[in-house]
Amino acid sequence: MLKGKVAVVTGGSRGIGRAIAEKFASLGADVAVVYAGNAEAAAEVCRICSREYGVKAKPYCCDVSDFASVKETVAAVKEDFGTVHILVNNAGITRDGLAARMKEEDFDRVIAVNLKGAFHMIRHCSSLFIRNREGCIINIASVTGLMGNAGQCNYAASKAGLIGLTKTIARELAPRGVRCNAIAPGFIATDMTDSQSENPMLGMIPLGKMGEPGDVADAAAYLATARYVTGDVLRVDGGIAM
């Protein structure tokens, strides 16, 4: 389904990003795995993609909040893979706290990684998409960006911002054949939600359980091939934000 396509997945070394990288590889895409720190984990994801699915996969260490590093990384991916067809902006962090007590640096860092990082990747991949007259951008937002969540003003703002970014890029690049969509996951079992097992909001999920990274990867695979869908926000949340 994705044979001949090159996908870049940020934060692809674990959790949701890893599931997306492996899903895309299973559908035949070559994969560039962008990671922040854990080189061994990123290398392992690439080994699995190559060994199990026979695609080309390579890790790239890059802090997505750094404009110049992202530029270099996209250039390296172009050198290694020839181009980029699919970009998944999945890298994300939390620095939770009530707004009244939040440190300025915690607000800034979350915006820098979650929102500006996605802009940096889009900014540097766009010329490749435009040249190819095709492209698919998938931004991993969150239901927190739709509903808000006490204790996460920085995270919620970054994810709501990502939704505005998604719709604007969808409008700007639609005439060039480039689609841009967001996924808004609810509670997904990963390292990020390890500490959430007692969260009372879990009891409010209509489907009655947390999701798996594979549930988000399935949605990403749909968006990667949904030729007439752009500017959409697809909730993968067990119904919590309906």
Options 21-29, 98-106, 181-189, 217-225: segment touching ligand NAI (CB under 6 A):
181-189
Q: Are strands 6-10 and 86-89 parallel, antiparallel or unpaired?
A: parallel
Residues touching ligand NAI, count (CB under 6 A):
28
Do residues 158 and 214 lie in contact, with contact meaning Cβ atoms separated by under 8 Å?
no
Residue the block writes with tokens 């540097």? 124
Max Cα separation, the chain? 51
And the tokens for 159? 């994810």
Least distance to ligand NAI from the beta carbon of 4, Å?
Answer: 26
Binding mask 183-202 for ligand NAI (x = CB under 6 A): --x-xx-xxxx---------
Per DSSP, the three-state class of 233 is strand
List, in order, residues 6 or more apart from 122 with CB less than 8 Å away: 87, 89, 137, 165, 169, 180
Interface with ligand NAI (CB under 6 A), residue from 2, 7, 8, 17: 17
Rounded least distance, CB 60 to ligand NAI, Å: 10
188 neighbors 215 (Cβ within 8 angstroms): yes
15 binds ligand NAI (CB under 6 A): yes
Q: Which of 35, 53, 60, 155 is catalytic?
A: 155
Least distance (Å) from ligand NAI to the CB of residue 28? Answer: 23
By CB under 6 A, residue 35 contacts ligand NAI = yes
Q: Which one, of 79, 76, 114, lies nearest residue 95 by Cα?
A: 114
Residue 158 three-state SS: helix
Ranges within 47-86 binding ligand NAI (CB under 6 A) = 63-65
Considering only residues 85 through 114, tell me which ones interact with ligand NAI, judged by CB under 6 A.
90-93, 113
Closest contact distance (angstroms) between CB of 73 and ligand NAI is 10
Residue 222 annotated to the active site: no
What CA–CA distance (Å, rounded) separates 142 from 155?
A: 9
Indicate whether 161 belongs to the interface with ligand NAI (CB under 6 A): no
Task: Please answer whether residues 169 and 122 qualify as being in contact, where contact means their C-beta atoms are separated by less than 8 angstroms.
Answer: yes
Choose which of 9, 11, 21, 173 interacts with ligand NAI (CB under 6 A): 11
For ligand NAI, the closer of residues 65 and 166 by Cβ is 65
Q: Provide the mask over 126-155, with x wherever binding to ligand NAI is found by CB under 6 A and - wherever it is not.
A: --------------x-x-------------
Q: How far apart are CA 199 and CA 240, in angstroms?
A: 13
- Report d(CA 211, CA 230) in Å as an integer: 24
Catalytic residue IDs:
155
- In the complex, which residues of this chain contact ligand NAI (CB under 6 A)? 10-11, 13-17, 34-37, 63-65, 90-93, 113, 140, 142, 185, 187-188, 190-193
